[in-house]
Structure 1
Amino acid sequence: MKISSRFFAFIAALLFVTSAWAHPQLGLQTWTCRHMSFEEVVQFAAKQGVTQLELFKGHINPAAPREENLKKLAYLKKHGVTAYSIGVSGTSMDKEKNRQLFECAKLFGMKVIVIEPKDQAQWDMLEELVQEYDIKLAVHNHGTGTVYGNPATVKHVLAERDERIGVCMDIGWVTAAGFDANEVFINYGDRVFDMHMKDKRLDGEDAKGRPLDTHIGLGNSNYLQLFESIRESDWSGVMAIETDSPDFQNDPTEFVARAKVFFEKHFPGSH
């Protein structure tokens, strides 16, 4: 049986598309633009060519009237931008208050909520909401001395929980806490649902004694090996550009533009 050249062309195209799907997506954590209004940050992202937003609490209120958030959803659609997540979101022992997060995520079509529960007693209740809504939770890490600053603590939480509970890996803070981002990513396996693309320098500190933020790719985070592992694992989540630097946040234009160039250099064709 003779196989036509069209068949091989179809297979090649299919493999190309499949490969493209496996790339990570570029996003923006709107904490980076915390001095902007919701409308301003949506316009900013659209202008920068970044279509995936993780909204921090200054840009979205889960307890707001439904009509208010529907207007925000319409504004996002108008500008071709998607709110893929909300975080880092506060949680408590009040289940109905936590439910507001899930209802908000459901309204926006979000598949993951980023949280950092200070009290680990909340996990039973949060797991129940994950199972009820079928929306993932991703625990975020900050630096040394915080609840989830050590990846071993996070792994312990994951081992006991629904597989829809995973990680939002903040690459900069992983580095600042003294861990290798690539090794941490590999060790988490398939439980990394989201990443904050941030970089830290370990040769200096800010006024609060924290490692300094820098342009992504210029700090001590092990991005080269991490990107290689991302490609090898076909990880296709969102890497959200983020900075804690007040200097960058005053005008994040250059910071975001340079981060986008850095990302696209390593993942050409990703959006």
Structure 2
Amino acid sequence: MSKTYLTLCISLTLFLCIHFLSFSQKLPEANEPFKIGMAGYTYHKFDLDRTLEDLATNQVKYLCIKDFHLPFNSSEQEIAAFHQKLAEKGVTGYAVGPIYMRSKEDVDNAFDYAKRVGVKLIVGVPNTELLPYINEKVKAYDFKYAIHMHGPDIALYPDADDIWSHIKDLDTRMGMCLDIGHTARNGKDPVADLEKYKDRIFDMHIKDVTAATKEGKSIEIGRGILDIPAFVQMLRKTGYSGVCSLEHERNFDNPFSGIAESIGYFRGVIVATKK
């Protein structure tokens, strides 16, 4: 299949997804092993009601919960009310994070928070010296722990290779959140990393970037340098069954059209690459 033909197919299916999805009873990802979700950080300038309104608009059913929508000190009643709001929009809060952890107290608070929220996946950014302690927590709670990578922006966990070097000898519930944009900005191939570390990738942040360097900026999916069709095909090949959560980091004051375009393009690729 030529690149020009594939681009034409994706453009057409993107148009169809954006304009006609509301009339369909079946989302493009319905028969895929993976799910489409949203990283809560995308909406850090908006309250929960506006966030859920946008998720409903885009028919996104999964949300990684950030503490600005559900604070760490939330009561049982507040947590129940939070989940009720999500349920009314058909949304499931599937994980919490990313949560930065600089001390054992931070770790304890994060695991207690996740347990009270009712999820079994924590996306975290812990100091490396805390990993043995987190490893014991994972065993005790039977949670999965996904370390988030940040590319060249900070020295801590720049990419999947670095995370693997820290977790390879730990419990198999210690894994990673593959951020495909930051991976590319650190000079690595997210498609290859997905295949290489498939057994320890528990969460995923999907996005596109303008360049495979530190200077690369977040941009709507399909406008950047990432080979999204190859990535979707690798999702199928590896049987990834977690959530692909859009983390849209452009125009935080008004991200909504960019979110719709990115989700629409990703769904268009799903349709265009089906065999």
Counterpart position of 1:14: none
| Paired residue type of 1:143 | G
- 1:54 counterpart SS class: strand
Counterpart contact for 1:63–1:100, Cα < 8 Å = no
Counterpart position of 2:236: 231
Report whether the alignment pairs 1:202 with 2:211.
Answer: yes
For the aligned residue pairs, the C-alpha RMSD in angstroms reads: 2.2
1:128 paired residue among 112, 131, 136: 136
1:64 paired residue among 74, 86, 91: 74
Counterpart position of 1:139: 147
- 2:67 counterpart SS class: coil
Counterpart contact for 2:42–2:247, Cα < 8 Å = yes
How many Å separate the matches in 2 of 1:193 and 1:252? 26
74-83 or 105-114, larger mean C-alpha shift: 105-114
Say which one has the larger Rg.
1
Counterpart position of 1:115: 124
Counterpart contact for 1:186–1:229, Cα < 8 Å = yes
Report whether the alignment pairs 1:100 with 2:109.
Answer: yes
How many Å separate the matches in 1 of 2:103 and 2:133? 8
Matches within 5 A, 1:23-172: 23-95=33-105, 97-117=106-126, 119-144=127-152, 145-172=154-181
Query: Residues 21 and 146 (structure 1 numbering): CA distance in 2 closer, same or farther, change over 3 Å?
Result: farther
How many Å separate the matches in 2 of 1:213 and 1:130? 32
Q: TM-score scaled by structure 2?
A: 0.81
Q: TM-score scaled by structure 1?
A: 0.82
How many Å separate the matches in 1 of 2:36 and 2:145? 20
Counterpart contact for 1:21–1:236, Cα < 8 Å = no
Residue 112 of structure 1: how far off its partner (Å)? 1.1
1:250 paired residue among 231, 250, 253: 253
| Paired residue type of 1:213 | S
Residue 115 of structure 1: how far off its partner (Å)? 0.6
Counterpart contact for 1:168–1:195, Cα < 8 Å = yes
Counterpart position of 1:179: 188
> When the two structures are aligned, how many residues end up with a matched partner?
243
Give runs of ≥4 in structure 1 deviating > 3 Å: 19-22
Residue 210 of structure 1: how far off its partner (Å)? 3.6
How many Å separate the matches in 2 of 1:22 and 1:43? 25
| Paired residue type of 2:145 | L
How many Å separate the matches in 2 of 1:226 and 1:115? 24
Residue 203 of structure 1: how far off its partner (Å)? 7.9
How many Å separate the matches in 1 of 2:36 and 2:139? 28
Q: C-alpha offsets along residues 154-201 of structure 1, whole Å, 9 cap, x if unaligned?
A: 111221211011110111100111111111111213111111011111
1:263 paired residue among 239, 263, 266: 266
How many Å separate the matches in 1 of 2:176 and 2:31? 21
Counterpart contact for 1:51–1:80, Cα < 8 Å = yes
| 5+ residue gaps, structure 1 | 1-18
How many Å separate the matches in 2 of 1:237 and 1:139? 15
| 5+ residue gaps, structure 2 | 1-28
Counterpart contact for 2:198–2:238, Cα < 8 Å = no
Task: Quote the sequence identity (%).
Answer: 25
Residue 93 of structure 1: how far off its partner (Å)? 2.1
Q: C-alpha offsets along residues 186-230 of structure 1, whole Å, 9 cap, x if unaligned?
A: 1213111111011111189xxxx7421111122122322221111
